[in-house]
Amino acid sequence: MAIFTVKMRASQQGRHTSGAEKTVDESRLTKTVSALIRRAKEHELGQPDFINLKIEQQNPSQIVFLPALPVTDRRGNSIEETFRIMEEELEKLGVPQPKRQIERLKSLPPMRGAAVFDIACGERLDVPFDRGIRVTYMDEENAFSDGLMRKNPFREALVLSTKTAAAEGMVAELCISDDPNYLTGYIASAQNGYIRLSPMKQKGDSRGGRIFLFDSRKGRFEDAVRFLQEQPVLVTGMPERLFPTQDDCADVIRTNLESQKANGLHRRITVIDSPQKKKIRIGKKKLLLFSSNNYLDWAMNSTMRLKTAAAVLKWGCGSGGSRLTTGTQPPHARLEAALSRFFETDDALFFSTGYAANVGILSALGKTVDVIFSDESNHASIIDGCRLAKADTVVYRHNDPVDLERKIRGCSFRSGLIVSDGVFSMGGDIVRLPEILTLGKKYGLLTMIDEAHSFGVLGKTGRGTAEHFGLKENADLIMGTLSKAAGAEGGFVCGSAFLIDFLRNNARSFIFSTAPTPADTAAAAAALKRIQRHPERIRRLQRNMKLFEQALTDFGFDISVNSAVVPIPVGDEETALRASNRLRQLGFWIPAIRYPSVPRGKAILRAALTASHTEKELRAAAKALASVLIRE
Ligand code: WAQ
Ligand code: MG
């Protein structure tokens, strides 16, 4: 069968982003090419705007097969110690002036290839000096199965060093990776094999390089270069242990965590030592809570607690199974009936959480419709649902029906869905529902609104965005949660019979998750009943929104309050954290919200209101915000 070498080089605005080569037989050529394109596109240095693919047929009889160098690992306790090991290994090979050679390795400028030094006279052989010698036309024999083809530096370095060591006159190769997160290097030689050395540098250091130590008394440099640059080589007998060590994996994860810390994006959990009410205690410190989604302040409501406790006594703690098998009990059925009555739909489905609801609904619908149009500021649970969907996701500009319509018109599809938050969880602003519903009708798209922050908050009777706008019709799917305003737990979706039946049969977070507990279900039902019986509580929350807006204005802010979520823009992550800490000292719990909840560099303080806050408390919070933000 014919054998081909495929070379890929990718760049972005002229800057090299990734490169790789593979030598495979014809049967694997197409898959290899697509894997290389994927590799080019997924490189962390960025999306390439130029991908160069070169495919050359090889003459099989010209291919040289070389057994992989044997591999040993040597780990130093410090970078200095690792370099001493390298020095010792150079001595074993009889290389003159080992310290000098290591200095050469350390002081290399960034280059695409390797610098070659003649150990007979100490001179550098490759010219011009800025490029180095690039070893190419090499691969593992049978390298590519059908699987993943991410860069594995060890694999690739072993192939390269096996070929290099086979060049006439080559004595040793020294290498340090130029990847800032990869701290490993090696010394390789035909005589002593491939010796992995770690650590060779500090994390974050992008310096690295390769030098070849050549002996001009043992071979001709020109021949070696021709061999390294032109001779096709396949490496046989690659070691079993081609996979990373657990230390390597731990390094990757630790590095990620470190960079989150360095960028002010690391979070720690705060334990609140008192129940979910507006006045909380953290340790000994008493604080006024301005960050709870418990908007109607019912999490500690005594009627709800009694109903929940009664359900636990009657039905027990766990539900025992998923809803479709053994987990459905009368509380579940009653709650779903009550929800569909409340939203005047045929049917409803109850999930363990709002997150589970969105992921389940969107991944299920996205299995059958072609496209999902999603607001760019939608909640993470919607984004995750779209990611799991097979449908394409088209993201439109935040709350921008003009952009949405342009995108709809620019797409070709048979069926689709528009999904939006009702109240945006970070911006606190309200979806332009009338326009969304009109576009849904006009283009035959299903509509879905996530009422997580609007159910129990907006509309005269807490029915959310449609009621807020005084609309008779509503979205096809009304999704919401009982864990916020309602003070209980669990997500839901209401809609027409066929849609809910479809979701019951296809939403995987519903099917493959244990049913919500009887306690959660009873609490949710009790909360829904309270919402119906106590519209004055909702009006009180709405009054607090107006009072808070007025207070903010009085203290010098220009912020409109549209819902119980009030973002105070800050920008810089560290500044937001500092401001939040100072508010905490002043007795207010108003957390800083950072990436990934909001875009990088757009950190906010997110104040959340409850129906229980008094006018005095709202004004005190506005004043404290002004003292830490405006007077800074
Ligand atoms: N030929 C010659 N030199 C090259 C080539 C090549 N094909 N590719 C890279 N270099 C040079 C270039 O100067 C780079 O800056 C330097 O080598 C390092 O390249 O776990 O990842 O691709 O055992 O960063 C070694 C340890 C990993 C692997 C080496 O090299 C292990 C590595 P990198
Ligand atoms: Mg590299």
pLDDT digits (tens, 9 = 90+) for 87-121: 999 999 999 999 999 999 999 999 999 999 999 99
- Kindly report, residue by residue over 59-73, the tens digit of the pLDDT: 999 999 999 999 999
- Of the pLDDT bands very low, low, confident and very high (cuts 50, 70, 90), residue 246 is confident
Other Cβ atoms less than 10 A from the Cβ of 103: the count is 10
Closest to 623 in 3D by CA, of 612, 607, 610, 611: 607
**Nearest bound ligand to the CA of residue 43:** 2
pLDDT surpasses 90 at 558:
yes
pLDDT, the chain, mean: 94
3-state helix, strand, coil in the chain (%, to 5): 35, 25, 40
3-class DSSP state for residue 138? strand
Atom of ligand 1 nearest to the CA of 133: 2
pLDDT reading at 243 higher than 80: no
Neighbours of ion ligand 2 (CB under 5 A): 178-179
Nearest CA to ligand 1 atom 31: 154
Over range 181-189, report the average pLDDT. 93
Following DSSP, what letter does each residue of 202-235 receive, concatenated?
Answer: -TT----EEEEEE-TTTS-HHHHHHHHHH--EEE
Q: Which residue has the higher pLDDT, 246 or 226?
A: 226
The DSSP annotation for 250-278 comes to: HHHHHHHHHHHHHTT----PPPP-S-SSS
Q: Which amino acid is at 475?
A: A
End-to-end CA distance of the chain: 73
Q: Specify the residue for token string 């560290």.
A: 574
Cis peptide before 180 (omega within 30 of 0): no
What mean pLDDT is predicted for residues 12-41? 91
Backbone angles phi, psi at 620, to 5 degrees: -65, -40
**φ, ψ for residue 478, nearest 5 deg:** -105, 110
Residue closest by Cα to atom 29 of ligand 1 = 177
pLDDT tens by residue, 250-268: 887 988 899 889 887 888 8
Please choose from 5, 75, 112 the residue to mutate so as to test ligand 1's pocket, defined by most ligand atoms within 8 A of CB.
112
Backbone angles phi, psi at 311, to 5 degrees: -65, -40
Query: Looking at the CA of 110, which ligand is closest?
Result: 1
Q: Residue 425 is which amino acid?
A: S
Distance 290 CA to ligand 2 centre (A): 48
The CA 197 to ligand 2 mean position distance, Å, reads 16
- Per the structure block, which two tokens stand in for 164? 């290099």
Question: Closest Cα to residue 164, out of 111, 231, 238?
Answer: 231
pLDDT greater than 90 at residue 627:
yes
Rounded distance from Cα 177 to ligand 1 centre (Å): 5
Counted residue by residue, the chain has a size of 632
Closest residue by Cα to atom 8, ligand 1, is: 113
Which residues are 187's β-sheet partners? 174, 195
Judge if the beta carbon of residue 113 lies within 6 A of ligand 1.
yes
In whole angstroms, what is the distance from residue 556 CA to residue 625 CA?
10
Given the DSSP bridges, would you call strands 603-608 and 565-571 parallel, antiparallel or unpaired?
antiparallel
Q: What DSSP string describes 27-87?
A: GGHHHHHHHHHHHHHT-TT---SEEEEEEEEE-GGGPEEEEPPPEEEEE-SSHHHHHHHHH
Query: Which ligand is nearest the CA of 212, by number?
Result: 1
Q: What is the spatial distance between Cα 41 and Cα 19, in angstroms, rounded to a whole number?
A: 11
- Does residue 632 carry a pLDDT above 60? no
Q: Which domains does the chain have, with CATH numbers?
A: 3-62 (no CATH), 64-261 (no CATH), 268-293+536-629 (3.90.1150.10), 303-533 (3.40.640.10)
Q: Which atom of ligand 1 is nearest to the CA of 135?
A: 1
Q: Relative to the CA of 136, which ligand 1 atom is closest?
A: 7
Q: How far apart (Å, rounded) are the C-alpha atoms in residues 462 and 144?
A: 59
Which of 210, 235, 248 to mutate for ligand 1's pocket (most ligand atoms within 8 Å of CB)?
Answer: 210
Span from the CA of 175 to the centroid of ligand 1 (angstroms): 7
157 lines ligand 1 (CB under 6 A): yes
Kindly state if the Cβ of 111 falls inside 6 Å of ligand 1. yes
As a whole number, mean pLDDT of residues 219-236 equals 97
Provide the pLDDT for residue 572: 92
Token match 């649970």: residue? 381
- The closest residue, in CA terms, to atom 3 on ligand 1 is 113
Mutation pick for ligand 1 pocket among 160, 161, 178, 182 (CB with most ligand atoms within 8 Å): 178
How far apart, in whole angstroms, are the C-alpha atoms of residue 465 and residue 477? 13
Element (H, E) at 5: strand 3-12
Which helix (H) or strand (E) segment is 372 a member of?
strand 371-375
pLDDT at 333: 97
Residue 146 pLDDT: 59
Nearest CA to ligand 1 atom 16: 209
Is 515 a residue whose pLDDT tops 80?
yes
For residue 139, the CA-to-ligand 1 centroid distance in Å is 14
Identify which ligand lies nearest to the alpha carbon of 111: 1
Ligand 1 atom showing the smallest separation from residue 71 Cα: 23
The owner of tokens 């090419």 is: 33
Q: What is the pTM of this model?
A: 0.77
Q: Report the distance separating Cα 611 and Cα 609, nearest Å.
A: 7
Best substitution site from 71, 175, 245 to test ligand 1's pocket, by max atoms within 8 Å of Cβ? 175
Q: C-alpha distances in angstroms, 550 versus 296, 468, 561, 608, 631?
A: 20, 21, 9, 15, 19
- Kindly state if the Cβ of 134 falls inside 6 Å of ligand 1: yes
pLDDT at 144: 60
Judge if the beta carbon of residue 174 lies within 6 A of ligand 1. Answer: no
Q: How confident is the model at residue 207 (pLDDT cuts 50, 70, 90)?
A: very high
pLDDT tops 80 at residue 276: yes
Of 22, 71, 177, 227, which is best to mutate to test ligand 1, by the most ligand atoms within 8 angstroms of its C-beta?
Answer: 177
Residue 114 Cα, ligand 1 centroid: separation in angstroms?
8
**Ligand 1 neighbourhood includes 188 CB (under 6 angstroms):** no
Q: Does 147 have pLDDT greater than 70?
A: no
pLDDT in tens, 367-402: 999 999 999 999 999 999 999 999 999 999 999 999
